[in-house]
Amino acid sequence: MKRILFICLGNICRSPVAEGVMKKLTETHPGLFHIESRGTNRWHKGEGADPRAVASAERAGVNIQSHIAKRLTLQDFEAFDLLYYMAADVFDEILELNPSRQQLAKCVNFLDAVEDRVGEDVPDPYYGGRKEFDETYGIIVEGCQAILEDALRSQTQSSIADSEST
């Protein structure tokens, strides 16, 4: 099982949307993925997802209403195989946790899986309105689809290698 964590600043906009989208995309692959999200700061810990993010996701058939914001901890680096951060400022805050090199190696820019978006940030819609939340939602879908394709491709390659070694 591949354990994936999505990380943004407050865990109320981008990362819970990514968690919800990825859970929806992986419904047809039961048991292959465990998906969660976190925020790098405590601003919204214990709160639900931003209502604008909830509405944007719902318009696309993704339900994130039950999401409760959680803060990233060093233990998360051990619990997850891949940690996808939404933007450079999020990565800067990850560095403040002082993870080991091995832990840091699990961190990947969310949009690096999208060929023509490598190194880009997922825009933070928090100070925007419906338009910004919907645009961010679309970018997150694009990233999640690419991440899923990569994960399934590596799963297939791993299965082939395992069968060839027996």
Query: d(Cα 64, Cα 140) in Å, to the nearest integer?
Result: 14
Indicate which residue of 13, 14, 52, 76 is catalytic. 14
Q: In degrees, to the nearest 5, what angle opens at C-alpha 20 toward C-alphas 70 and 16?
A: 30
Query: If DSSP codes are grouped into helix, strand and coil, which group holds residue 58?
Result: helix
Let me know the angle formed at the C-alpha of 69 by 149 and 56, rounded to the nearest 5 degrees: 60
CA distances from 146 to 2, 25, 115, 143, 153 (A): 15, 11, 9, 5, 10
Catalytic residue among 8, 13, 107, 144: 8
Q: What phi and psi, each to the nearest 5 degrees, are found at residue 95? A: -60, -30
Q: Is 59 a residue of the active site? A: no
Answer for the pair 57, 25: CB distance below 8 angstroms, yes or no: no
Whether 124 is catalytic is yes
Q: Which residue among the candidates 13, 38, 124, 144 is catalytic per the annotation?
A: 124
Catalytic annotation on 144? no
Active site residues: 8, 14, 124
